[in-house]
Structure 1
């Protein structure tokens, strides 16, 4: 452990890191989420980025496309993995490349499952005139999303405290082990957080959308409802690019990909994402 950053950790975390440092035999007993925090702090330190700790969060400025963004992440949480996927591994880079290679700047994006706003920040760094509709049904995540968007002066991002589903409804949120991983269910449970969800068609109507340049869907299994046989999928005709994280426990990857193929999408993959490029809007070979 870099002793310069020891003040970023609690005594328990320091103990866990010490245990980790003694060898591989103890690695399996060390919390993986805690290790991810440690690895991220070391990565940021290597890049010369100053990190501050407030409560259970770390704060730092991070360059995306040479633009500085204020980032705050909860330590030892799924925030760390989300940050890694979006801003270090750049899973959405293929989509940035698509628009740049086609000499096109996207106008409208739907960020469904916006979490704390990192995907919205990533795209705003490349296309600052972009308008983003960021949907997040979790109350806690929505508060942090709204804070992050305001903190970075991203006035073109509209935060909406709702999720998407196959139809308009109010659903129960079932918490999983990760902060990002709560899923929506039609089962009523008085102990669960109630979340309002909208169909994609309702969102299009609400915001009077004629074209969706990019539609990101990372909604913890709710994609099964969005792409169900009963759902109205005509909205796919006005989507240029779609990226879906398909959760195999709840949705069939083959079924969703077959729907995309039926609507003329060319399928690619990036990390955990299934990405569809609508052939009607593709000028160059992918």
Structure 2
């Protein structure tokens, strides 16, 4: 990597974390020699180290979550329950755990290597719970349909309990019922196309119990995701915002309370 390219890589980190720590973070993420190591990075947004698998999509995922991710949430929002569906390496969960230190964060991730790094990243926090599963429309069994995909692109399909690669599916309603809460303050959904089935299915059982919904749509993987979601969300009392690749839906009553 030439000096000009290296400087271009460093600049966003220097701007976000300060010159000294920004250079340190960038050097760790972009080593001179290609590496597949798991590295630990200390940043101001997180009270504990953040673990990144070099040579994987963790690097771009880290960049997106810690340099650009700042959801337009109401200032007075003090969430008790946050569900991160499709948690990947746990960077969005870390964002929530540090921004809302009193909230309980439940992260759901089906893929083994992702779940391992997710657990490594978030197990410092007593208010964190990880579930190795995938969100689905009903109880049953799923498996990864594209195990050769990159770490941020794993998709699931239905299968049977007898399949050696299967794992139990879980519904959003079930996740909520297993807590002591009756509402989901923030629900983040990034499930690589499964949102199509999710919002064609039993969303009416839980969507009225969600105050803030954050979702990334994946029509590039599975056509019909956007149509399914927009059809399902129509008529509900949300205001929509956009942030990076995410759509953010906030209950109107939360925004009204924020203006008082």
The bucket for the TM-score relative to the shorter chain is 0.7 to 0.9
Q: Would you say how many aligned residue pairs link Structure 1 and Structure 2?
A: 243
- 2:113 corresponds to which residue? 140
The 3-state SS of whatever aligns with 1:242 is: strand
Kindly report which structure 2 residues correspond to 1:50-199, keeping only aligned pairs within 5 A, or say none. Answer: 56-64=37-45, 67-90=46-69, 92-95=70-73, 98=74, 100=75, 103-150=76-123, 153-174=124-145, 175-186=147-158, 193-199=165-171
Distance 1:178 1:280, change over 3 A: same
Q: Choose from 256, 265, 285 the match for 2:238.
A: 265
Q: CA deviation at 1:104?
A: 2.7
Q: Which has the higher contact order (CA 8 A, sep 6+)?
A: 2
C-alpha distance in 2, partners of 1:40/1:235? 42
- Show structure 1 runs of 5+ residues with no match: 4-19, 22-34
- Show structure 2 runs of 5+ residues with no match: none
- 1:226 corresponds to which residue? 198
Which is higher, the Rg of structure 1 or of structure 2? 1
Q: CA deviation at 1:192?
A: 7.6
What TM-score does the superposition give when structure 2 sets the normalisation length? 0.82
> Deviation digits for residues 46-93 of structure 1, max 9, x if unmatched?
5242555885233221111xx443122112211112112211111x43
Give RMSD over aligned pairs. Answer: 2.9
What TM-score does the superposition give when structure 1 sets the normalisation length? 0.75
C-alpha distance in 2, partners of 1:275/1:193? 34
The 3-state SS of whatever aligns with 1:129 is: coil
Q: CA deviation at 1:277?
A: 1.1
